[in-house]
Chain A
Amino acid sequence: MTTPHQATFFLELEASLADCPAGGLHMELRFREQPWWDSLAALTLLAVFDTTFGKPLPVEEFMKCETLADICRLA
């Protein structure tokens, strides 16, 4: 079940990430394995998380995340 905040997070992230295919983001996506994932995508994800959920994503926890569901659990 995706919450409204999580849906907004996915939409904003998709709009902000270069080369991310439309509708390409979902909870179980292993984002680090995607061709569009790089250091700039990581900063973009941190920015969108902060904007959407109103708090920073702790970097140490973020480094352990494998899927977008892992990220959303830190919101």
Chain B
Amino acid sequence: MYSVLSHIRIAGLAVTTGSVERDYVQDGLAAGIDRATLERTGKVVGLRKRLVVAAGVTALDLCADAATRLISEMGIDATSIDAVVFVTQSPDHSQPNNGSLLHGRLGLSKSAPAFELSMGCSGWVFGLQQAALLCAHGGAARVLLCSGDTLSQLTNPGDRATDPLFGDAGSATIVEKTGRSAPFHFVLGADGAGSASIIVPAGGARQPASTATRLETVDAEGNRHHAENLRMNGAEVFNFTLREVPDAVNAVLKHAAWMPADVDALVLHQANRFIISTVGRKCGFPADKTPMDIVEKYGNQSSASIPCALIDALGGRLESGTLKVVACGFGVGLSWGAFAGEVGPLAIAPVKSYA
């Protein structure tokens, strides 16, 4: 689906990460893997350090911290926020949604609706489209978009194919109605037939959590997991990414009437260095326009990874000027969302670990 929305701007970005540092090599050595293998895989895939939450800290906490810091940085009143869009797949409760909980924590106006999108790694782009829609056609002048997950709480430490990939983070993005006319272009898509490729099988209404769903099994590769853990078929997900992301990026470029040479940065969901370098190349972008080192600093941050890359790799340029940015998130669903638009100047609250 293609949509174009105008008279909108991204006014601010903030990201808060988990505070517990995990080291890929040290964790692998403790699991009995040899150092040479760990160092080779770590270098190619981009696995070094990741930041996860301490026990009891949730995506809501991380997003609330990011939002509070961003509101302070921008010098705005929280009651000036007209709506909240919260994107997560690790909510505090099945009911009520995190959007409502954040609304209460920040003390927002009762006239400001708050809702949640259940999206993962593609979620920031979906949330941005919703926030832009609320500003362009929904009567809002300022929308708070929060996106983030604590996937480290869903992976099994004994699953070496999945657990070492993920870090925890929450982001805040302020989207505003503006007189600027540069449009935001979005291409959103889904392939529900591939939904089993990334899944937490139990813990929902289909298969409620129980003692039985926490019984661990060991797969052919020696990885341990149970039915309440996040499972990922790496080869299927990689093929899906190769198949859909370049097409989505090319489509959004075409709608924006941009060539790769016109674009300042292609910001892909920071899944890992191997995927980003392969897909970026297939999209026709040089490596120096494609940030890809977020994962080795923070881990795969799900729907917070694109705002984290915008801050970490482009923050200085975005604070002072305007960049032509193409972003694409992709993952669980399966789903993907591509964005093309001019971003900046904007306010940034730097990436910070949760305290």
Known: A40-B45, A46-B235. A56 touches B242 (CB 8 A): yes
Known: A39-B161, A39-B221. A57 touches B239 (CB 8 A): yes
> B44 to A47, Cβ gap below 8 A?
no
> B44 to A46, Cβ gap below 8 A?
no
Which of the residues B37, B161, B239 comes within 8 Å of A59, measured between beta carbons?
B239
Known: A18-B44, A39-B221, A40-B44. A59 touches B278 (CB 8 A): no
> B242 to A47, Cβ gap below 8 A?
yes
> A42 to B235, Cβ gap below 8 A?
yes
B254 within 8 A of A: no
A50 within 8 A of B: yes
A interface residues, how many (CB within 8 angstroms): 16
B234 within 8 A of A: yes
Q: How far apart are B242's CB and chain A's nearest CB, in angstroms?
A: 5
CB-defined contacts of A58 to chain B, threshold 8 Å: 239
Look across to chain B and name the residue whose beta carbon is closest to the beta carbon of A47: B278
> A40 to B238, Cβ gap below 8 A?
no
Known: A18-B44, A51-B282, A56-B243. A43 touches B161 (CB 8 A): no
A37 within 8 A of B: no
Q: How far apart are A46's CB and chain B's nearest CB, in angstroms?
A: 6
Look across to chain B and name the residue whose beta carbon is closest to the beta carbon of A62: B235
B214 within 8 A of A: no
A50 to B234, CA, bound (A): 16
> A39 to B234, Cβ gap below 8 A?
yes
Which of the residues A18, A43, A57 comes within 8 Å of B234, measured between beta carbons?
A43
Q: How far apart are A31's CB and chain B's nearest CB, in angstroms?
A: 14
A57 to B243, CA, bound (A): 10
Q: Which residues of chain B (212-262) have a CB below 8 Å from chain A?
A: 221, 233-236, 238-239, 242-243
Name 13 interchain pairs, CB-CB below 8 A, sorted by A: A18-B44, A19-B40, A38-B37, A39-B161, A40-B44, A40-B45, A40-B274, A43-B274, A46-B242, A51-B282, A56-B243, A58-B239, A59-B239
**7 extra interchain contacts, Cβ-Cβ under 8 A, other than A43-B234, A47-B278?**
A38-B37, A40-B40, A40-B45, A47-B238, A50-B282, A58-B239, A59-B233
Using a CB–CB cutoff of 8 Å, the interface residues on chain A facing chain B are 18-19, 38-40, 42-43, 46-47, 50-51, 56-59, 62
